Structure 1
Amino acid sequence: MLLSTCLLALAVLLPACNLSNDPHDEPSAGPSDNVLRIDVNFDFGPFCPHVLDCSGSRYVFPFIYSFLCVPNPEGALEPDLAVAWDYDPKTFTWRIRLRKDARFHNGEPVTAADVAYSISTCTKNLQKRLARKIKSIKAIDEYVLEIELEQDDPSFLNDLWTLEVIPDLGRHANLDLNDFPIGSGPFQFAGWEDDGSVILTANDNYYNGRPAIDRVVFYYIPRQEDSWVRLINGETDIAGNLAVKNYEIIKQYADRFYFAKYQYNYYSILLYNTLHPLFGDPMVRRALTHAIDRDYIVKNILNEFAEVIAGPMGNRSPYRHPDLKPLAYNPTLAIQHLEKAGWTLDPHTQSLMKNGQPFAFELLLLSGSDTDLRIARFIKLKLNELGIRVHLKALPLDELLEHYSQNSAFNAVLTTLTAKSHPPEGVLELWIKMDDKPSIAGGFDSSEAARLADLAFGAEDPETRKALFQRFDHLIADLQPGSFLFQETYIDAMSKRFTINYPFSWDYPGHYRLQHARLKNE
């Protein structure tokens, strides 16, 4: 979920699919038209990629816009707009040469000035960490760009590649990218259908050659359950975040679908408002974590398609603290912590009380996710066993973000945060103030966390930097600003109506590679 993270609506109830377990009960194979249909579970917002946004538009960007370079399936960067690049470690300078045949969808050439503008605006608006790394950006000529860094960073392009290149709005008059995006990618924006779907058409003048697919249509389908019914019935071609129960059913149709199975680099957390009197004491927050049986959630709700985590770096990051272990499920210890914090059980109401007030709070969660709802209900049940009363409230994504992202207008929220290790600075930025604004993670504030983050941002030695990230991981886990729950394994699926010559994946590089997909038997 985003700002730098994206909430993902998870889960599907088995009855919602209306499928039998009989593999011979074959669903519809779908139409034969040369249109790639994609379901997204967030509504569409602005189409300018350099505007802070957490909408379904983010799925559209890799089809419309180009990048300097893009990772191949093995993770190595390959040229896109950039045809060559080199780095001078003595001057901390990157020199990037651009292809000369790339044009925006309005026919204007893509120049080094456009790339410099894109980097400057994106880092200023969305990626301030990258902005701090850049000393200067200048176009040497029409197709050569130089980026001078503040310090040595030979892996800088790995941070930069996700930045979409847009026209320099100072030189290209009368463009409104929010409503009518202009990029240089394989598909161009054609408009909206009456049902709210977004239509893209193949770019006949694309520098890598016209895509074989004629059109791409994006549908906003808020409930994952509905997307999977549509996929099985042949009404859409791509759906992400397949629920475990659906996967157990759909995998018998392996001849009809490509599957991508991977551990997501986001994790689920029950985030607390540490500025609220209920959650100001780290001992109380640790007690709540001890009261939640996360192994039960992983085994019985997520069918073991997840791992319990201990801290903000997740389980797979090289920057996680090697000695950090998840807090154990231990209701007895939870009660002891709560008693030390002054909470006592009222024998008449069976509620925890302190200074005449019950321990009761509102837990926010994303609407439209049956799995999130099941998890929230289980958490409510476990806390109720201790005498803590929880009221659940489901909200759409934009409202949910308004309550907790750089804000403290909430008690607790079930959400997802990033555990990306490339680059790991994004994890730190969730938990500290940036530009005097509250942290993304519910306004959480720790002077020691801010100090470690500053040291990590400025460290040049890789091992020193890694050690600082690990200390940060351990510190946040000790402070327990939320109950770190689990890191999921996700499954995405794509119809085999289309052939692809690479492994299917539904991440940003995977979106980009769909330009090479081709209707089967075409």
Structure 2
Amino acid sequence: MEPDLARNWHYNRQDRSLSIELRRDAKFHDGTPVTSEDVIFSIQQQIDGLFQDSKRAILKIDPISKHDFKIILPHDQPEFFKFVYKTMILPRHLSLASHRDHPIGSGPYRFEKKLDDRHIRLSAFHDYYGGSPAIEHVLFTHVTDMEKTWTRLLAGKTDIAARLAPDNFRRMKFIQQRYHINQSPSWFCKTLLFNPADPRLADVRVRRALSLGIDRDHIVEKIFIGYGRVATGPLGVGSPYGRSDRPPRPYDPVAARELLNDAGWEMDTVTELFQKGGLRLEFDLLYMRENPIDEKVVRFIQLCLGDLGVRVRPVPVDYATLQQSYRGNTDFQAVLTETMGLYDSHTPLLLTWMPNEKGCSNMGDFTSPRITELLMALENADSMQAQQAICQAVEDQLLALQPAAFLYQPTEIDVVSKRIHLPHVFAADTGSIRCLYQAHILSHR
């Protein structure tokens, strides 16, 4: 970690205090100085969001001066340094609601205006403490159809594109002379979430059968053309918190049918669907509209489970409807979503599976007393070894109870035009976009 907004910091292990000294020259985009009160306010907002089910993340935050403050932790938390690093600093003198229409930060680019629903224009903030950006304007274009992104790249209308679609991967050789290409494994796992409250999906044997009935290798090799990895579980492939020898769930339709038979489901030779007690084994599968890759995956899942004797009805919905259907809710049967693996923090596991004050998790209201017990222990674990052991135990439980089928982790491919000079390897994440102020345009279109 290197100083940025903080000029200096010191951690005292005896009293578990983190003392932070801020830069004196940092300003918000409205010209007001960044003070310790702003940072304390922002950290508290982040704490309330990330640790909404636990107020034990910090004991207190003490302001010392206009540019100095101290955070007192209840115990050693190495990951808290990463949390502070990722905190978005907001001006305390403005309401949170105002940020929806006109966000104000302290970075190298300031919000200029929203042109329409798909375009946002930023302009250089010349009072940025890290130096004035050389590129004056940045235009963000939200494209849901990745084929259009590829078309814009070929036409030279886009300088930076994130997460190219798999169909475009094989064509990359045509743009290698004009673009830098960066590949990185995604930290997100595409996940088929089930609703155990539905009578068809209540039996864990049914959920295990559905998971065994999906050919994940085919998805990675054919749909993603090899640009991805078959998932091993909720912690993520290669997670430092997981087991290195954890195998992926195999494709085994024979074992899947045996599980369904054990659960009392019988094949109807007329409909060629499993039935039990007058119910057919069928369900609606929600997925995000205008996402061609998700649609291909859903159609393939439909084929796999159809061969098994299970009817899947794909239902495309918008992003907001998709989120509302399962976050602390049971208004769905199955949904194709994604979960974040554990690579630099165990926090995603808490955010995803820990019940809130209403007893609901963010994953379809799924809860388990044993998993909740383990997650509560994880909040208080103060060593990496203890965190690893607990995370692996949680993963064991999730794979046994199968509230979701963990499918694959795609390879993320980002491209940046060679007409832009960057002093580092570019990846289209928040950190790299923020560092665009170090970029220079070498030639114009």
Q: TM-score, length-normalised on structure 2?
A: 0.95
Displacement after TM superposition at 1:497 (Å): 2.0
Residue 456 in 1 paired to residue 366 in 2? no
Displacement after TM superposition at 1:187 (Å): 1.3
SS of the residue 2:10 aligns to: strand
CA separation in 2, counterparts of 1:384 and 1:173?
Answer: 51
- Structure 2 unaligned runs (5+)? none
- Residue 251 of structure 2 is matched in structure 1 by 329
CA separation in 2, counterparts of 1:461 and 1:98?
Answer: 29
CA separation in 2, counterparts of 1:387 and 1:201?
Answer: 56
Deviations 1:154-194 (A, max 9, x none): 4421122111111113xx58982221122111111221225
Match of 1:518 among 410, 431, 440: 440
| Identical residues among aligned pairs (%) | 34
Deviations 1:94-119 (A, max 9, x none): 00110001111111111111100111
Residue 520 of structure 1 aligns with an amino acid whose one-letter code is: L
Displacement after TM superposition at 1:336 (Å): 0.7
- Residue 157 of structure 1 is matched in structure 2 by 81
CA separation in 1, counterparts of 2:13 and 2:322?
Answer: 44
Match of 2:224 among 302, 316, 330: 302
Deviations 1:236-273 (A, max 9, x none): 21111112331221233222112120101010111101
Residue 140 in 1 paired to residue 64 in 2? yes
CA separation in 2, counterparts of 1:173 and 1:126?
Answer: 20
Match of 2:200 among 254, 263, 278: 278
Displacement after TM superposition at 1:454 (Å): 1.0
Match of 2:415 among 489, 493, 512: 493
Equivalent residues in 2 for 1:285-434, closer than 5 Å: 285-434=207-356
- Residue 401 of structure 2 is matched in structure 1 by 479
CA separation in 2, counterparts of 1:486 and 1:173?
Answer: 40
Deviations 1:18-67 (A, max 9, x none): xxxxxxxxxxxxxxxxxxxxxxxxxxxxxxxxxxxxxxxxxxxxxxxxxx
- Residue 119 of structure 2 is matched in structure 1 by 197
Match of 1:123 among 20, 25, 47: 47
- Residue 29 of structure 1 is matched in structure 2 by none
Residue 288 of structure 1 aligns with an amino acid whose one-letter code is: L
CA separation in 2, counterparts of 1:83 and 1:384?
Answer: 60
CA separation in 1, counterparts of 2:435 and 2:118?
Answer: 25
Displacement after TM superposition at 1:432 (Å): 2.4
Instruction: Indicate the larger mover: 206-215 or 251-260.
Output: 251-260
Provide closer, same or farther for how the CA distance between residues 156 and 282 of structure 1 changes in structure 2, counting only shifts above 3 A. same
Provide closer, same or farther for how the CA distance between residues 287 and 463 of structure 1 changes in structure 2, counting only shifts above 3 A. same
- Residue 155 of structure 2 is matched in structure 1 by 233
CA separation in 1, counterparts of 2:409 and 2:21?
Answer: 39
Contact 1:432 1:446 in 2 (8 A): no
- Structure 1 unaligned runs (5+)? 1-76
Deviations 1:273-296 (A, max 9, x none): 111111111111111111111111
Residue 178 of structure 1 aligns with an amino acid whose one-letter code is: R
Instruction: Indicate the larger mover: 133-142 or 235-244.
Output: 235-244
CA separation in 1, counterparts of 2:137 and 2:280?
Answer: 57
SS of the residue 1:275 aligns to: coil
SS of the residue 2:286 aligns to: strand
CA separation in 2, counterparts of 1:178 and 1:382?
Answer: 42
Displacement after TM superposition at 1:216 (Å): 1.1
Instruction: Indicate the larger mover: 427-436 or 97-106.
Output: 427-436
Residue 504 in 1 paired to residue 426 in 2? yes
CA separation in 2, counterparts of 1:484 and 1:195?
Answer: 33
SS of the residue 2:171 aligns to: helix
SS of the residue 2:140 aligns to: strand
- Residue 86 of structure 1 is matched in structure 2 by 10
Provide closer, same or farther for how the CA distance between residues 157 and 195 of structure 1 changes in structure 2, counting only shifts above 3 A. closer
SS of the residue 1:310 aligns to: coil
SS of the residue 1:421 aligns to: coil
Displacement after TM superposition at 1:138 (Å): 2.0
Q: TM-score, length-normalised on structure 1?
A: 0.82
CA separation in 2, counterparts of 1:136 and 1:375?
Answer: 47
Provide closer, same or farther for how the CA distance between residues 494 and 322 of structure 1 changes in structure 2, counting only shifts above 3 A. closer
- Residue 128 of structure 2 is matched in structure 1 by 206
Provide closer, same or farther for how the CA distance between residues 175 and 482 of structure 1 changes in structure 2, counting only shifts above 3 A. closer
Contact 1:129 1:425 in 2 (8 A): no
Contact 1:123 1:130 in 2 (8 A): no
SS of the residue 2:191 aligns to: strand
CA separation in 2, counterparts of 1:429 and 1:194?
Answer: 32
SS of the residue 2:200 aligns to: helix
Instruction: Indicate the larger mover: 432-441 or 449-458.
Output: 432-441
Displacement after TM superposition at 1:419 (Å): 0.5
CA separation in 1, counterparts of 2:246 and 2:350?
Answer: 17
CA separation in 2, counterparts of 1:424 and 1:173?
Answer: 31
Alignment RMSD (CA, Å): 1.8
CA separation in 2, counterparts of 1:314 and 1:194?
Answer: 37
Equivalent residues in 2 for 1:18-29, closer than 5 Å: none
- Residue 244 of structure 1 is matched in structure 2 by 166
Contact 2:53 2:357 in 1 (8 A): no
- Residue 441 of structure 1 is matched in structure 2 by 363
- Residue 27 of structure 2 is matched in structure 1 by 103
Provide closer, same or farther for how the CA distance between residues 254 and 300 of structure 1 changes in structure 2, counting only shifts above 3 A. same
Residue 100 of structure 2 aligns with an amino acid whose one-letter code is: N
CA separation in 2, counterparts of 1:226 and 1:131?
Answer: 45
Residue 112 in 1 paired to residue 47 in 2? no
SS of the residue 1:102 aligns to: coil
